Amino acid sequence: MKEKQPEPKYLPKSYAEVAGNDVIIKPKTKQDTKTTRDDLTKKLNPAELEIGITRVRSIKEGGLIITCKTNEDTSKIRKEVSKKLKNYSVTTREPKNPCVKIMDIDEELDEEKLKLNLVKQNDTVRSESDICVKTIKKLKKTYMAIVECDPVTFNRIMENSQLAVGWSVCRVFEDVGVFRGGFNHKATDCNTKMMCSTCKSPEHDTEQCESIAKTCQNCIFANKKLSLDLDVNHFIFDSNCPTLKG
C-alpha cells in the first residue's frame, strides 16, 4: 500500500483557485495603454471588489491582459468592466495547463502504460484524467517524458520533486521549453547561445542531458557581473535559486 503523503501547505483546494482566466480588455477606439490603465484605475478598485490578481501586462492597441487568481475573480472583473467601461471590449481566455518533465525513466513505455504507472505508484497523481502525456523521448540510456497536468496535480508533483515510474525514481522539473540564458526576455530576443538548462553545456539541449550535477548559468553570470558569491550548483529553475527569486 502506498504511504499517503501530506498535502503541501500552499496547495490550493480546487482547480478554480489556481486556474483563474486571463481577462483581456481592449479599447474600442485607438489609444495608448497608459490611457487604458488610467481608466481602469479610476473606475475599478480591486481591493473594494475583493479581486485577486497575479499579473497585469500590456498588449498592442492599448489593451491589457489581467491574470486572475480564481474564476470567481475573473467573473467579477469582466462584469465590472462591462458595466463601468463602456468604451472597452472585454473577453476571457483560459490559461494553459502546466507541464512537468520526467527524467530517468529506465524502461520504454507507451503513453497509456506511463499514465497507469504514474497513478498507481504516486499519491501526487490522483487520476489519469488529471494528466496528459505530451511526449516520450529516448535519450542515450534512459527515457524522458513531458506530461501536462492540471495546476493542483502540478503543485503536488513539484512539491514532492520526484515520481516513481516502474523501478525508476525519476527527477521532475517544470517544463519551460527552450532555454538560452537569463530571464525577463523572449527566446527570440536572446543573444546568447542555446545551452542545456541542467548542466550548462552548449553541446546538447536539456532533453538529452543525463548529468546528475546541476549548474545555474544565471548565478554564474550574476557572480561575474556583480562580484557576488552565489551558489551555482543547482538547477536553473530551482525555486530556491537566488537569481530566480531575485
Q: What are the sequence ranges of the domains in the chain?
A: 20-93, 99-174
Could you tell me which CATH class the domain 99-174 is placed in? alpha beta
Is there a contact between 206 and 228 (Cβ–Cβ < 8 Å)?
no
Extended strands (E) in the chain: 22-27, 53-59, 63-68, 88-93, 99-105, 131-138, 143-149, 162-165, 168-174
Average pLDDT over the chain reads: 79
Domains 20-93 and 99-174 belong to one CATH topology? yes
Q: Which residue has the higher pLDDT, 66 or 242?
A: 66
Domain 20-93: what homologous superfamily?
Answer: ACT domain (3.30.70.260)
Q: By CB neighbour count within 10 A (0-12 exposed, 13-18 middle, 19+ buried), where does 41 fall? A: exposed
Q: Give the per-residue pLDDT at 133.
A: 93
pLDDT-derived band at 118, boundaries 50, 70, 90? very high
130 pLDDT higher than 60: yes
Is there a contact between 174 and 162 (Cβ–Cβ < 8 Å)?
no
pLDDT-derived band at 176, boundaries 50, 70, 90? low
What's the rounded mean pLDDT across residues 86-106? 86
Question: pTM for the complete prediction?
Answer: 0.48
C-alpha cell recorded at residue 5:
503523503
Q: Give the per-residue pLDDT at 179.
A: 42
Residues β-bridged to residue 137: 144
20 pLDDT higher than 60: no
185 pLDDT higher than 70: no
pLDDT-derived band at 207, boundaries 50, 70, 90? low
> How many Å apart are CA 219 and CA 176, to the nearest integer?
18
What's the rounded mean pLDDT across residues 44-60? 87
Q: Give the per-residue pLDDT at 170.
A: 94
